[in-house]
Amino acid sequence: MKCDEVQALHGPYLDSELDARTSLEIEQHLKACPECARLFAEEEKLEARIKAGLKQGSRTPVLWAQIEKQVSAAGSATPRPRPLSHVSRPVGWPAALGAVWAQLRAGWQASRWAWAALAAVWVGILLLNSAAREPDSPLVADQTLPSASEMRLALKQKDLLIAELALCSEPAAKPKPAPPSPRSDRRRATFNT
């Protein structure tokens, strides 16, 4: 393993989260690389000091009361929007549309750049689509649609043409050749002539 790979796996190694093979490779690297071994040793010392500091002192009810006060004070310091109970809420389609709009607005607020990129991609797709389109054939002024009887006549003519093509495309029937005659018939024909 390389030094950067070993250093990237430092936390999981110290927490024993790695598989046995990877842990063994890291141990072998630490034996061979004094720089990485020094870094790992410093991190282990720091972790031991932090654990020792956290274990100091007793966890008394007074301490827990102080922690609860600090948490509640921090929670009350942030202003929370109060629900408007006196305002009537819409029902039916307006409520559904309002909920969808709120979701879209919240999504937009959370990731404006993602939405902007998506919009840019769609604009690009639309531009490419319009540029790749073939120009429409010009419409003839005063062009009218054919009537139902004209359409039926055109369909019958099409069917007749298809039937005529099918008949013409079949190969003409060739006369079948006579089966070969047995040898005895050939001999008789030779002697008789």
Instruction: Give the pTM.
Output: 0.31
What is the arithmetic mean of pLDDT over 53-72? Answer: 77
Q: What is the pLDDT of residue 141?
A: 58
Tell me what pLDDT residue 92 has: 75
Determine how many CB atoms are found less than 10 A away from the CB of residue 1.
17
Q: Which two tokens stand for residue 139?
A: 């419409």
Digit-coded pLDDT (tens) for 141-186: 566 777 888 888 988 999 888 888 877 765 655 666 666 666 666 6
Residue extents of the structural domains in the chain = 3-57
Task: State the chain's mean pLDDT as an integer.
Answer: 77
The pLDDT assigned to 96 comes to 78
Share of the chain above pLDDT 90, in %: 5
Strands in the chain per DSSP E:
none
The three-state secondary structure class of 79 is coil
Per-residue pLDDT, 113: 74
